A and B are shown apart, each in its own frame.
Chain A
Amino acid sequence: MKEWNFASLKKMLFSVVLILCLASFLILNSACSESGSFKLKDTMDLPSGGTSENFVPPSPDALYDKTAFGDTGTQRLTRNQMIDSLNLALGISPEEFRDDLPFNSPSSTYFDNDYESLSLSLNDIRSFAGFSEKLVAKLLENKSEVDELMGCTPAAANDSACLEMLLRKVGARILRRDLTDSEIQSYMDRFIPMAVSESDFYIAVELSLLALIQHPEFLYRIESEKGSQITGFQVASRLSFLVQGTGPDDQLLEAARKGELLDSEIRVSHVQRLLESDQAKKHWNRFHAQWLGFSDRVLKAGLETDMLTETQFTLSHINFESNSPWMEIFTLEKTYLSQELAQHYGIQHPGGQSTWIDYPQGRRAGVLSHGTLASLGAKFNDTSPTLRGYEVFKRLFCGEFSIDIPAGVDIDDAPGKAGDCKEDRYYMRNVSTCVECHGITDNIGFGLENLGPFGGWRQAEPNLPSCKISGEGEVESTGFQGPEQLGNLIASNPVVVSCATKQFFHFTMGRHSKPEDGETLEALVGQYYKTNTLVSLIESMARTEAIVFREN
């Protein structure tokens, strides 16, 4: 069998798929009752007839070039990053004021941190102001905690030494760098007289914090001129946002002060330390939630927390606790269930607290079986095999089609005749003019039909007991039955690895990939195959010289 790699795959698929899609576009008619709007975006990601056995991982070397990160524009902190960074800096959670922050801008990636889609309105400034006022007011409700934060108790309203301690310690945490002596002096010159005027030292604290939290150096990750090495503090920020989505902690700031972060081994040691934190787990769970698409899904009422906990435990177990291959999130043979969720799934629970339970053999495996991911296929008060298959295709294979939805077709109309079995209602994969898309999406989706809209197991269609569900599907010309077998096919597929590492790139860089990122994307795939773990991929981003350099 011919060996396939990215270059040959790209060439071959581009020719074949483009011809097929163009032909389909020309002859498509309204026979397809449900379809999607797709385009051929990057043939490298598309599955083909290749198999994982003869796949040759590319070299990871390009990842270690100082230009590997490509464009590194200025990112504004997301809602999550602001909340978590201020929690770290101030020791109180701003979570209750989350809704006061502006919404993240619309994104061209799956993630909330796409700086290339960033927008700013007057309302955003108002929102920052309102958020800051509330957060600082909450902090000042307990003066003894403020004193603890500063490391001093003010002797008088003009206690500039105490304010200086706040600015040196907390100011550095918020702005992610040390304040200069002249900056500290300007804060004191401005705000101490106001405190004296009102005989209240904490007014200087309040005003200083309001200024710091609304300062662009907190709101944006500002870095040095392009084409140059960045500062140690900026490296500390890159590392911290990479690992845990917050500004740097005191240890990283101290390492930056000492100039230690140019040393790749020291950088990696800090990354390993941070990866132990709950914040890192939360951050990477968010990555998965946005990539896999369940971060904003409405889940089954009453089971929302249990479902999210199940998926979070699985992701953390694979990636951080057992340090297993990343792709095992699709194949893990056990899951973490409450009694209520186990009952919903039809799985026996030993009673008591939530616990790890082995899946029944031959049915479920990994996150594809979870209610969180199953919800992506919920439609028409049931499931849509087309939608579910499309979600798998686009999120796990990074697949897109170039075919437009035919005129007159409405994807919000349930296809076929009500009362018929789905095999008949979703007839599109058997129609020559529709098969190019539906042959992919529906064949995947039908293989997951045993999962109800929120992951409950079923043998027949709702309210149609005579419509038995076979659970038979097909992906890349390989048949499978049910989520367990699909999980195994996915986990061993290099196209899925390529897609996952591309999403990793989008998330860590805060932007969509571009053609000029091709070498880095391939190198990330190569890096993944060296150890197969997510943690090693994160560490590689800290090890590369690119993390101390701003190319463009």
Chain B
Amino acid sequence: MAKKLTRRSFLRGSGGLVVGIPFLESLRSEKAFAQQAFPNRFITTYYGSTTGSARYSSPDNYGPLNQPLKLALAPLQDYVSKLSFISNLDFPVTNVAPTEPGPPGSARNKQHAGVESPLFSGMAAMERVAPVIRGTTVDQIAADFLGSGSQYKSLQLRVQAASYNGRTGARAQGTSTSVRAENGRLNELPMVESPKRLYDMLFAAGGTTTNPTTQTLAKNKSALDFVLEDANRLIASVSANDRQLLENHFEKIREFERSLSSGGSGGGGMQPSTLPLNNPGPDPQVNSYSFGGWADETKRGEAMADMIAYALSTDITRVVAWAFTHFQCWLNSQMTGGSATPSGSNGVPEIHNDSHNSSAEQIAKNCAWATGLLARLLGNLESVQEGTGTLLDHTFISFVTAESKNAHGKTNYTYAVAGMGDRINLGQHINGNKAHPALVHLDGLRAIGLNTNRLGEVSGSLPGLLKV
């Protein structure tokens, strides 16, 4: 039987090079949490369908939120003092051929997946070219600004376990709302759909391994140290384009090593969170990839809401892109009380079909499923004390949807923002005056302290959202 490896032997074996010390609980920084300035955090949340009719969604009047929230937004009722709604937001739209972008910041006025590019990157949509989003997304801009001290610069997560459009494997993974322009190309950052995998990432540092021992992590670090030492030889031997690719690869290995060195719990020296966090266990199984599939997404979403709050509170990350669903989501809608045999289209109870064919009430119920998960996250963030405030006070959160009040709708959106009360006017229903919906995100960047005038092709500010 192989003996266990000691940390000492690895340090000896590193040949005198500077090697990050494998994480050991006893060695973690004991900096007093209260003595630190609390970092700002940034979260985007996304529901790939519609809030539904104004009758069941947006507040009736602009100004202070002093009426009960309607069905689609009702789960957020407990947090009205910590959030604001912005309505009357319109995308510029275009019908141009799919391989050409339209006017700056424009959405495609037809099918689904027509708004993600302008919404998250400010770049006009241009479908059928991967990735769908055509510029660096707002979460990645925030990650570059906020994320350097954390273990993960950002996390990308999605609740919906599969696209449920009849496909399996990689094609079922759908479009990420997180994209980076790197090395002259756009890289779509895949979204983690497995709560178990997220848990492993937060606690195991090795990501895909199931509770690897400190020895396992140390071994892999030693192996990667060895690979890194070969970088110069390899990079010098290849052509310029390949050099760029390899340099990027080696840089990612270094980033990974830094995350190993910082351990699996906290990247900025902050204390363990006061939040209790249970291991979510094995993921609920995806039993069907066809329309109307369901893999207990409510349980998945709740686990993610808890883990996101934990990750933010311990500074494992400061930035999260969280999608509740795919765009044009075919997620089963019976869990929200929908008919088992709805009329129209494919006759399957699923959110996309509902958005076209079901009652306004059912469409709002579907949205309430998403806002319910958002409410759980807000509650978690609010429960963590940070100085004289809470974690929610140091976090900007957006809630955006793919479609506005109806299927394919690209005008008259109602979006929400929460947190960062020292920078954002909260407890309000704000008239967006047909401004570009991406301004929610641009103002969010300003709220976390980034001095910027532009998100992709979109510039400006939402009237009344930011405190002057």
Where the two chains meet, the residues of A that have a C-beta atom closer than 8 Å to any C-beta of B are: 25, 37, 39, 73-74, 100, 102-108, 112, 117-127, 129-134, 140, 186-187, 189-191, 193-194, 197-200, 202-203, 206-207, 210-211, 214-217, 219-220, 222-223, 225-226, 295-298, 375, 378-381, 402, 404-407, 409-414
Contact = CB atoms under 8 A, between A and B. Distances in A.
B39 interface: no
Given A125-B253, A133-B220, A378-B166, A202 B109 contact: no
B190 A103 contact: yes
Given A73-B241, A127-B207, A211-B223, A404 B110 contact: yes
Contacts of B153: 122
Interface string B191-234: 01000000001000011110010001001101110110110001
B245 A133 contact: no
A405 B97 CA distance: 9
Which of B224, B229, B288: most chain A CB closer than 10 A? B224
A106 B133 CA distance: 12
B361 to A, nearest CB: 21
Contacts of B219: 133, 203, 206-207, 210
Given A129-B207, A381-B347, A407-B109, A211 B227 contact: yes
Contact of A37 (B111, B131, B229): B111
A133 B211 CA distance: 12
A126 B13 contact: no
Given A200-B2, A296-B169, A407 B110 contact: yes
A380 B165 CA distance: 11
Interface residues of B, number: 86
Contact of A225 (B238, B256, B345): B238
B206 A108 contact: no
Contacts of B190: 102-103, 121, 123
B458 interface: no
Given A108-B129, A217-B234, 18 more contacts: A37-B98, A37-B127, A74-B241, A74-B242, A120-B187, A122-B256, A126-B201, A127-B207, A133-B209, A186-B226, A198-B3, A219-B249, A295-B169, A296-B169, A407-B110, A409-B110, A412-B352, A412-B356
B207 A126 contact: yes
20 contacts: A37-B110, A102-B190, A120-B248, A121-B252, A122-B152, A129-B224, A133-B212, A193-B12, A193-B13, A214-B223, A214-B224, A215-B230, A216-B250, A223-B242, A298-B167, A379-B346, A381-B347, A412-B328, A412-B352, A414-B345
B423 to A, nearest CB: 29
A211 B231 CA distance: 13
A518 to B, nearest CB: 19
Contact of A410 (B111, B207, B288): B111
Contacts of A219: 249
B298 interface: no
Contacts of A103: 170, 173, 190
A154 to B, nearest CB: 13
A298 B226 contact: no
Which of B234, B242, B253, B407: most chain A CB closer than 10 A? B242
A129 B219 CA distance: 11
B120 interface: no
Nearest to B212: A133
Given A37-B128, A102-B190, A404-B98, A129 B208 contact: yes
B110 A203 contact: no
A194 B253 contact: no
B144 interface: no
Which of B109, B219, B344: most chain A CB closer than 10 A? B219
Contacts of B345: 380, 412-414
Given A37-B98, A108-B130, A210-B220, A74 B245 contact: yes
B443 interface: no
B239 interface: yes
Contacts of A130: 206-209
Given A103-B173, A103-B190, A404 B95 contact: yes
Contacts of A100: 208
Nearest to B230: A215
Contacts of B127: 37
B259 to A, nearest CB: 8
B168 A39 contact: no
A404 B209 CA distance: 46
Nearest to A414: B345
B207 A413 contact: no
B98 A297 contact: no
Nearest to B330: A412
A298 B245 contact: no
Contact of A203 (B2, B226, B255): B2
A411 B127 CA distance: 15
B54 interface: no
Contact of B289 (A127, A193, A298): A298
Contacts of B15: 189-190
B180 to A, nearest CB: 8
Contact of A222 (B9, B131, B242, B253): B242
B297 interface: no
Contact of B99 (A39, A200, A375, A409): A39
Contacts of B166: 297-298, 375, 378
Contacts of B256: 122, 125-126, 129
A126 B208 contact: yes
A129 B206 contact: yes
A106 B234 contact: no
A106 B187 CA distance: 9
Given A298-B290, A404-B110, A197 B13 contact: yes
B97 A133 contact: no
Interface in B67-81: none
Contact of A190 (B169, B226, B290): B226
A99 to B, nearest CB: 8
Contacts of A121: 187, 189-190, 252
B157 to A, nearest CB: 11
B171 A296 contact: yes
B326 interface: no
B246 interface: yes
A132 B220 contact: yes
Contacts of B223: 132, 207, 210-211, 214
B5 interface: yes
B130 A122 contact: no
A120 B2 CA distance: 34
A106 B212 contact: no
A295 to B, nearest CB: 8
Given A117-B130, A190-B226, A198 B356 contact: no
A37 B256 CA distance: 41
Contact of B408 (A206, A210, A220, A410): A410
A237 to B, nearest CB: 15
Contacts of B346: 379-381, 414
Contact of B239 (A112, A126, A225, A410): A225
A36 to B, nearest CB: 10
A405 B250 CA distance: 44
B188 interface: yes
Given A103-B190, A198-B9, A413 B344 contact: yes
Nearest to B241: A73
A191 B208 contact: no
B145 interface: no
Given A130-B207, A298-B168, A404 B222 contact: no
A154 B224 CA distance: 25
Interface in B247-274: 248-250, 252-253, 255-256, 259
A225 B242 CA distance: 9
A297 B238 CA distance: 39
Interface string B167-191: 1111111000000001001111110
Leading 5 A-B pairs by shortest Cβ distance:
A130-B208, A126-B207, A119-B187, A210-B223, A106-B130
Contacts of B289: 298
B110 A39 contact: no
Contacts of B2: 140, 198, 200, 202-203
